[in-house]
């Protein structure tokens, strides 16, 4: 049947090209019109595939040669050409091949006095001009001059013809040569005057399409630098800004407002970022002859050929923010299979034996150590005890609609090990100094001496106790808020700072000690030994005091319609109406004097010189508006996303607007409901110490600040532009001290103090815990390595053999410093592994865990987003890491090499990351077959064999972890990811299950957490659920004893029952949505973006249909007869009246041809 339909269509098209019979041509045109009047664009694409465009162009050439022209044939032919041509991507090329450009221009000139016919010609001219090459040819041949005769001067006569002419002109101006020609001939100023006339006279808003069409013409002209300069010289900014203000009150004028706003943003005068240099304020001398990233300097002028077009390389983790291209996939099977030789001498691997002491453990000594530990605990029993702390359980599933933190799981069923989760945390002496005891008997001797040397090397400049930056700058504020009755006990030092010991002591008296696994004393002690480039002398209050998850998860922020354009217009107002612009720098890392000078009255005070802090400069724009600039990564000029800073001296209930103006990514989850996080010191002291999601009117868009970076592969410069993250915040208290951050901060000192507390609270009889130093970082900070497993049941041979033969799991995190969510997931993993949860106990008996919880300590400490102190992305150094520049990667890889060399390669390797542009938690893995299939390569299954076990763990996590989504996972191996951890460990160590786990900063697209912004508790839960997944993987993949299987089955049945109950309570848990729901408005970033595509097709179709409806049965004022209107009804009647007899041979329209119209409904195309 389909063949008959195709044959019938081809007969129609062939006859249309060859026939000279008017009735035959009209019949064919009528049939084609009916065919294409229903359904979607698929029918038109089908006609195009059968040569429909060529047939119509040939028929047009024949009809145009007829004297006088037969409009009864010509008009339906032009309509069909317009409808078919706009969906034919090669239509411009076909027009050139048929030499039809001159024909179309000739017909247009011939019908200048007949507006109905002219309108039809303009539709085809518009479609032809959509091809840049054809549009350029038409421009050379005088098409623009012809169109300007139609649209000028301003007149409301023949508005359909004017609308068609403006549409054709906009299509012509997509060609940059046409745009230059238009500027040189003064058309830009004429378009501005014409737009003003239509705007001023269209009081009833009846001509929106004409006004928007004129704006599209301006939009395309200003894609070139000459056009932007002329637009500014013609006062275009003022004209459009004023006209937009008149339109804001009417929602029907959104198309006009959106287009005008885009032009204003694009034509805003370009500036360099208001900093001394785009390179980081911090630099670090590299060892040897290594050099940091070279400065990226270049000419200041715009390149006209590029306009604002960008070739931005987007840096995120394992993943690309934009859609991955198949050309990046590795299709060389030999490379996918290769096992490269060692990147170091084999004898070097022997030194890593010391990091695997569990394989050679003398448990006689360990028992002695445990007794010492017990006696130490006995000695500390007399100390004041903090409340017991709850270690997250794998069975802690929260109610989806009422997410109260720490909710008892007994509401959903009995928890057999609930009492075992309570682990006493020994407190500290409040009167003692907060200095870490270097003689703690349970510390590793080597690490002890290392830490001691580490702190002693600091010298006199760092011998002080840290100050709290949020409190020390204003003693009066501190005394009033904290100790209104004890002001005399707090004496400021000569420099205006409070005595640190008094401050810490008084604060600890305030601290209730109810934050699980956090000790301000431990934190301050650890922070004192941290080495940073700025030489931090102050602590951020949230890190010192601690974070307690809020009582409920916050839903995604609903985005107000038109928010982006409102923010852009507000920025443009600075240029047009600068009267209220202050422009005062209130904080600048590059100017030390700004850090100590008192703030101006009514001005906010900023600070960021603390661990993980990042704010380079703050400029007060208006009374309640500030531009903020982030610092680049150390020894770099790029990677701006992470921010963490303090703000003080605010007024309450006043909306402050903050604009972070040097973001680099093309898009952000801030456009899809994500909020930043805020911590209030006053709220913390009132018993609510927590980071909370905050901010309203959040928007992310391209701005006018130039961004320069080295072009790939050459020494030149490729120009880009920064993006603005804007948000408004109402602070809860007057004169509070608040902290704002991109995501929940998790500092290096937080991690180190957390490890100290975990070690103190573990059960040494059940948990084997060993903390060692993997290496020293470039900055001189120790990178910890943890070994966690279960103690052997006894000292008999079988138990010791079982202990040593346990498979390894190797976990790493925080290779990218700005991905603090990865650390929160790792925190959940660690707390679960050392807990007394029955599943955790079973898991420890199954595996030996090697964990590097922070691969990039220096980057985290110094507030970097992506790089280490060398200016390198450490997750791109795994192929050939340098022992000098990338020590943590070099030694982590060396340890993996060692395990592989002794036949103990990990069963699972997983690198924890965060993803800034996607929702959910998901895994990236490695598969040869899936990569080849995705690239379209033929896969010989007899030659290419592969164990599909890499999919088992993701499938398990999809079932047990509420935040995990299997559909978001990918197992492709890309060329650009060849030097990442997961690919190198997969290829060089032969680890089948080598993964990157990505955690969203934002929310989940379905399930229990759908529509909710993830908090620290959900991230920690993901860490514990990952452990549960490992246990199930072990049971599925490895041989187990009957006793182990029975115990696991009992526990997992309970886990499944509780999880099922929670999922049944979630009414929408089974409903999936797109990973990236559409924004409330189009996010127009690219200057070359336009209304092309299906929307423009529909607009032209609508224009054609409106014209036909209006002329149907009417007589044009130019004297057209009724028979010349060629309405669709007249054509249909003409087709019926001229239908030949069945025996006629004049036109081969048999049953198959007539059935074509009906058969199209079920056509397989």
How do residues 474-499 score in pLDDT, each as one tens digit?
A: 434 444 444 343 333 333 333 333 34
Q: Quote the pLDDT of residue 1095.
A: 60
CA–CA separation, 182 and 163 (whole Å) = 19
Q: Quote the pLDDT of residue 423.
A: 30
User: What value, to the nearest 5°, has the Cα angle with vertex 244 and ends 242 and 250?
Assistant: 135
Q: Quote the pLDDT of residue 65.
A: 82
% of the chain at pLDDT higher than 70: 71
User: What value, to the nearest 5°, has the Cα angle with vertex 1082 and ends 1080 and 1083?
Assistant: 105
Q: Quote the pLDDT of residue 168.
A: 93
According to DSSP, residue 283 is labeled -
Lowest pLDDT segment from 195-204, 325-334, 664-673: 325-334
CA–CA separation, 565 and 570 (whole Å) = 8
Give every CB contact of residue 640 below 8 A, 6+ residues apart in sequence: 630, 631, 632, 662, 663, 664, 722, 865
Q: Quote the pLDDT of residue 431.
A: 29
Does residue 411 register a pLDDT over 70?
no
Q: Which helix (H) or strand (E) holds 1?
A: none
117 in helix, strand or coil? helix
pTM: 0.80
Residue 342 tokens read as 């060692």
Lowest pLDDT segment from 392-401, 502-511, 908-917, 1074-1083: 392-401
Does residue 1161 register a pLDDT over 50?
no
**Residue closest to 73 by CA, chosen among 1134, 1140, 1126:** 1126
Lowest pLDDT segment from 27-36, 803-812, 847-856: 27-36
% of the chain at pLDDT higher than 90: 49
Report the residue count for the chain. 1165
Model confidence at 794, pLDDT cuts 50, 70, 90, reads confident
Residue 718 bridge partners (DSSP): 709
Lowest pLDDT segment from 292-301, 705-714, 994-1003, 1007-1016: 292-301
Q: State the catalytic residue, choosing from 930, 998, 1018, 1020.
A: 998
**Residue closest to 647 by CA, chosen among 612, 616, 605, 681:** 605
Model confidence at 451, pLDDT cuts 50, 70, 90, reads very low
The DSSP bridge pattern shows strands 467-468 and 691-694 to be unpaired
One DSSP character per residue, 494-526 reads TTSPBPHHHHHHHHHHH----STT--HHHHHHH
* Mean pLDDT computed over every residue of the chain: 78
Q: Quote the pLDDT of residue 469.
A: 52
**Residue closest to 816 by CA, chosen among 414, 319, 462:** 319
**Rounded-to-10 torsion of CA 872, 875, 881, 886:** 50
CA–CA separation, 321 and 1000 (whole Å) = 12
Distance from the Cα of residue 42 to its chain's centroid: 33
Model confidence at 1043, pLDDT cuts 50, 70, 90, reads low
Q: Quote the pLDDT of residue 921.
A: 96
Residue 559 tokens read as 């985005």
Contact yes or no for 368/438 (Cβ under 8 A):
no
Cis bond leading into 153, ω under 30°? yes
CA–CA separation, 866 and 855 (whole Å) = 12
Q: Quote the pLDDT of residue 1133.
A: 39
Does residue 524 register a pLDDT over 60?
yes
Higher pLDDT, 90 or 456: 90
Q: Counting Cβ atoms within 10 Å, is residue 775 exposed (0-12), middle (13-18) or buried (19+)?
A: middle
**Residue closest to 295 by CA, chosen among 280, 279, 306, 311:** 279
CA–CA separation, 691 and 997 (whole Å) = 24
Q: Quote the pLDDT of residue 290.
A: 62
Does residue 349 register a pLDDT over 90?
yes
Compute the average pLDDT of residues 887-891.
Answer: 97
Residue 850 bridge partners (DSSP): 787, 810
Compute the average pLDDT of residues 522-537.
Answer: 92
Residue 980 tokens read as 């990442």
**Residue closest to 257 by CA, chosen among 1110, 1103, 1115, 1082:** 1082
**Rounded-to-10 torsion of CA 647, 649, 653, 655:** -50
Compute the average pLDDT of residues 997-1022.
Answer: 95
Lowest pLDDT segment from 209-218, 723-732, 746-755, 928-937: 928-937
Q: Quote the pLDDT of residue 362.
A: 67
**Residue closest to 371 by CA, chosen among 383, 363, 360:** 363
Residue 1099 tokens read as 């607009």
**Cα separations (Å) of 807 from 616, 789, 903?**
47, 10, 10
Higher pLDDT, 308 or 539: 539
CA–CA separation, 569 and 589 (whole Å) = 30
End-to-end CA separation in angstroms for the chain: 13
Q: Quote the pLDDT of residue 64.
A: 84
CA–CA separation, 1116 and 115 (whole Å) = 9
Backbone region of residue 114 per phi and psi (left: phi > 0; alpha: psi in -120 to 50; beta: other values): beta
Q: Is 998 a catalytic residue?
A: yes
According to DSSP, residue 604 is labeled -
**Cα separations (Å) of 846 from 395, 985, 1041?**
19, 22, 11
Residue 723 tokens read as 């993006």
Question: b or e along 284-319 (b: 16 or more beta carbons within 10 Å of the residue's beta carbon)?
Answer: bebeeeeebbeebeeeeebeeeebbebeeeebbbbb
Model confidence at 85, pLDDT cuts 50, 70, 90, reads confident
Give every CB contact of residue 953 below 8 A, 6+ residues apart in sequence: 908, 923, 993, 995, 1029, 1030, 1033
CA–CA separation, 815 and 881 (whole Å) = 14
768 in helix, strand or coil? strand
Give every CB contact of residue 453 below 8 A, 6+ residues apart in sequence: none
CA–CA separation, 742 and 1000 (whole Å) = 13
Compute the average pLDDT of residues 891-908.
Answer: 95
**Residue closest to 612 by CA, chosen among 753, 817, 470, 464:** 817
One DSSP character per residue, 711-729 reads PTTSSSEEEEEEEEEEEEE
Q: Where are the alpha helices (DSSP H) in 560-651?
A: 563-576, 592-596
Higher pLDDT, 325 or 1030: 1030
Q: Quote the pLDDT of residue 1049.
A: 67
According to DSSP, residue 385 is labeled B
Q: Quote the pLDDT of residue 931.
A: 84
Model confidence at 1123, pLDDT cuts 50, 70, 90, reads very low
Count of beta carbons in the 10 Å neighbourhood of residue 920 = 25
Q: Quote the pLDDT of residue 336.
A: 75
The DSSP bridge pattern shows strands 617-622 and 625-629 to be antiparallel
Q: Quote the pLDDT of residue 443.
A: 39
CA–CA separation, 707 and 719 (whole Å) = 6
Helices (H) and strands (E) in the chain, counts: 42, 23
Give every CB contact of residue 681 below 8 A, 6+ residues apart in sequence: 470, 471, 541, 545, 736, 737, 738
CA–CA separation, 888 and 904 (whole Å) = 21
Higher pLDDT, 322 or 1092: 1092
Q: What is the pLDDT of residues 207-219, one digit of tens each?
A: 999 999 999 999 9
Does residue 1127 register a pLDDT over 70?
no
Contact yes or no for 308/266 (Cβ under 8 A):
yes
Compute the average pLDDT of residues 921-946.
Answer: 82
The DSSP bridge pattern shows strands 848-852 and 782-790 to be antiparallel
Lowest pLDDT segment from 75-84, 415-424, 586-595: 415-424
Give every CB contact of residue 1099 below 8 A, 6+ residues apart in sequence: 209, 1091
Higher pLDDT, 290 or 86: 86
**Cα separations (Å) of 810 from 432, 768, 910, 993, 1035?**
38, 16, 7, 11, 18
Residue 374 bridge partners (DSSP): none
């Amino acid at each position: 049947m389909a063949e008959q339909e195709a044959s019938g269509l081809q007969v129609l098209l062939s006859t249309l090209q060859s026939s000279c019979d008017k009735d035959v041509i009209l019949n064919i045109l009528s049939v084609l019109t009916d065919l294409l009047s229903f359904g979607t664009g698929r029918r038109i694409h089908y006609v195009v595939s059968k040569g429909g465009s060529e047939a119509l162009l040939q028929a047009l050439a024949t009809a145009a040669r007829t004297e006088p022209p037969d409009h009864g044939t010509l008009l339906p032919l032009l309509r069909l050409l317009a409808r078919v041509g706009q969906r034919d991507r090669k239509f411009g090329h076909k027009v050139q091949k048929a030499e039809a450009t001159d024909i179309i221009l000739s017909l247009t000139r011939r019908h200048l006095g007949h507006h109905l016919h002219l309108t039809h010609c303009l539709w085809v001219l518009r479609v032809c001009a959509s091809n840049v090459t054809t549009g350029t040819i038409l421009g050379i041949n005088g098409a623009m001059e012809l169109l300007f005769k139609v649209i000028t001067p301003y007149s409301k006569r023949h508005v359909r013809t004017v609308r068609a002419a403006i549409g054709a002109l906009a299509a012509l101006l997509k060609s940059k040569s046409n745009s230059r020609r238009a500027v040189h001939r003064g058309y830009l100023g004429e378009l501005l005057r014409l737009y003003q006339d239509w705007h001023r006279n269209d009081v009833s808003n009846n001509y929106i399409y004409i006004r928007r069409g004129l704006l599209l013409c301006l939009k395309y002209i200003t894609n070139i630098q000459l056009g932007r300069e002329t637009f500014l010289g013609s006062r275009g900014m003022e004209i459009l800004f004023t006209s937009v203000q008149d339109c804001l009150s009417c929602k029907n004028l959104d198309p006009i407002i959106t287009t005008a706003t885009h032009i204003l943003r694009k034509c805003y005068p370009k500036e360099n970022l208001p900093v001394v240099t785009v390179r980081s304020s911090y630099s670090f001398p590299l060892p040897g002859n290594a050099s940091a990233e070279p400065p990226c300097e270049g000419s200041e002028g715009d390149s006209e050929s590029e306009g604002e077009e960008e070739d931005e390389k987007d840096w995120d983790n394992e993943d690309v923010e934009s859609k991955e291209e198949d050309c990046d996939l590795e299709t060389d099977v030999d490379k996918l299979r290769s096992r490269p030789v060692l990147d170091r001498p084999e004898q070097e691997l022997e030194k890593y034996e010391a990091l695997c002491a569990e394989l050679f453990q003398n448990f006689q000594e360990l028992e002695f150590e445990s007794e010492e530990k017990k006696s130490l605990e006995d000695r500390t029993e007399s100390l004041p005890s903090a409340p017991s702390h709850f270690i997250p359980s794998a069975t802690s599933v929260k109610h989806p609609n009422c997410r109260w933190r720490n909710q008892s799981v007994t509401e959903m069923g009995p928890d057999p090990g609930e009492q075992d989760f309570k682990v006493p945390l020994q407190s500290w002496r409040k009167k003692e100094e907060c200095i870490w005891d270097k003689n703690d008997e349970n510390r590793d001797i080597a690490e002890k001496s290392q830490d001691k040397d580490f702190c002693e090397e600091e010298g006199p400049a760092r011998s002080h106790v840290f100050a709290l930056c949020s409190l020390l700058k204003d003693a009066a504020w501190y005394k009033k808020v904290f100790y209104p009755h004890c002001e005399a006990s707090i004496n400021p030092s000569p420099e205006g700072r409070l005595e640190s010991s008094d401050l810490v002591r008084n604060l600890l008296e305030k601290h209730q000690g109810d934050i699980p696994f956090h000790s301000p004393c431990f934190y301050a002690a650890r922070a004192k030994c941290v080495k940073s480039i700025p030489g931090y002398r102050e602590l951020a209050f949230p890190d010192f005091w601690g974070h307690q998850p809020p009582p409920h998860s916050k839903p995604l922020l609903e985005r107000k319609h038109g928010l982006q354009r409102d923010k852009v217009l507000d920025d443009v107002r600075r240029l047009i109406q600068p009267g209220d612009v202050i422009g005062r720098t209130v904080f600048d890392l590059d100017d030390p004097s700004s850090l100590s000078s008192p703030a101006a009255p009514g001005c906010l005070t900023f600070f960021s010189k603390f661990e993980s802090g990042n704010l380079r400069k703050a400029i007060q724009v208006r009374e309640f508006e500030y531009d903020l600039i982030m610092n680049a990564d150390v020894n770099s000029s790029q990677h701006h996303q992470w921010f963490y800073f303090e703000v003080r001296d605010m007024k309450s209930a006043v909306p402050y607007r903050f604009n972070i103006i040097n973001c680099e990514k093309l898009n952000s989850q801030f456009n899809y409901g994500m909020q930043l996080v805020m911590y209030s010191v006053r709220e913390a002291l009132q018993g609510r110490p927590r980071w909370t999601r905050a901010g309203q009117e959040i928007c992310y868009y391209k701005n006018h600040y130039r961004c320069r970076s080295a072009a790939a592969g050459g020494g030149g410069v490729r120009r880009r532009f920064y993006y603005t993250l804007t948000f408004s915040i109402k602070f809860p208290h007057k004169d509070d001290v608040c902290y704002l951050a991109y995501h929940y901060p998790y500092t290096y000192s937080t991690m180190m103090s957390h490890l100290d507390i975990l070690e103190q609270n573990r059960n040494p009889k059940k948990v084997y815990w060993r903390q060692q130093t993997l290496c020293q970082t470039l900055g001189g900070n120790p990178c910890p390595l943890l070994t966690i497993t279960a103690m052997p049941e006894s000292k008999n041979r079988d138990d010791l053999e079982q202990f040593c033969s346990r498979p390894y799991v190797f976990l790493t995190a925080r290779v990218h410093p700005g991905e603090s969510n990865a650390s929160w997931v790792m925190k959940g993993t660690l707390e679960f592994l050392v807990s007394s949860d029955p599943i955790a106990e079973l898991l420890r008996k199954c595996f030996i865990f090697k964990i590097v919880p922070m691969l990039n300590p220096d980057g985290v400490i110094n507030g970097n987003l992506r790089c280490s102190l060398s200016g390198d992305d450490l997750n791109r150094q795994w192929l050939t890491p340098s022992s000098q520049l990338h020590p943590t990667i070099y030694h982590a890889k060396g340890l993996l090499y060692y395990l592989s060399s002794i036949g103990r390669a990990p069963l699972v390797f997983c690198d924890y990351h965060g993803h800034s542009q996607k929702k959910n938690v998901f895994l990236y893995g490695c598969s040869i077959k899936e990569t080849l299939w995705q690239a379209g390569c033929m896969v010989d299954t007899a030659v290419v064999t592969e164990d599909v076990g890499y999919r088992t763990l993701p499938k398990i996590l999809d079932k047990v972890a509420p935040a995990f989504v299997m559909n978001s996972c990918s197992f492709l191996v890309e060329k650009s990811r060849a030097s990442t951890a997961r690919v190198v460990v997969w290829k060089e160590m032969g680890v089948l299950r080598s993964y990157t786990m990505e955690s969203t900063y934002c929310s989940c697209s379905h399930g229990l957490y759908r529509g909710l912004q993830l908090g620290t508790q959900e991230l920690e839960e993901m860490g514990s659920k990952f452990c549960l997944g490992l246990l199930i993987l072990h049971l599925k993949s490895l041989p187990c004893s009957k006793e182990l299987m029975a115990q696991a089955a009992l526990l997992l049945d309970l886990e499944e029952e509780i999880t099922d109950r929670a999922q049944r309570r979630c009414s929408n848990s089974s409903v999936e949505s797109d990973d990236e729901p559409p924004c409330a408005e189009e996010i127009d970033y690219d200057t070359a973006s336009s209304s092309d595509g299906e929307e423009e097709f529909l607009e032209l179709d609508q224009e054609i249909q409106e014209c036909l409806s209006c002329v149907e049965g009417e007589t044009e004022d130019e004297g057209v007869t009724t028979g010349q209107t060629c309405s669709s009804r007249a054509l249909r009647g003409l087709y019926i009246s001229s239908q030949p007899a069945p025996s006629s041979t004049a036109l081969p329209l048999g049953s198959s041809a007539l059935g074509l119209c009906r058969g199209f409904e079920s056509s397989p195309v």
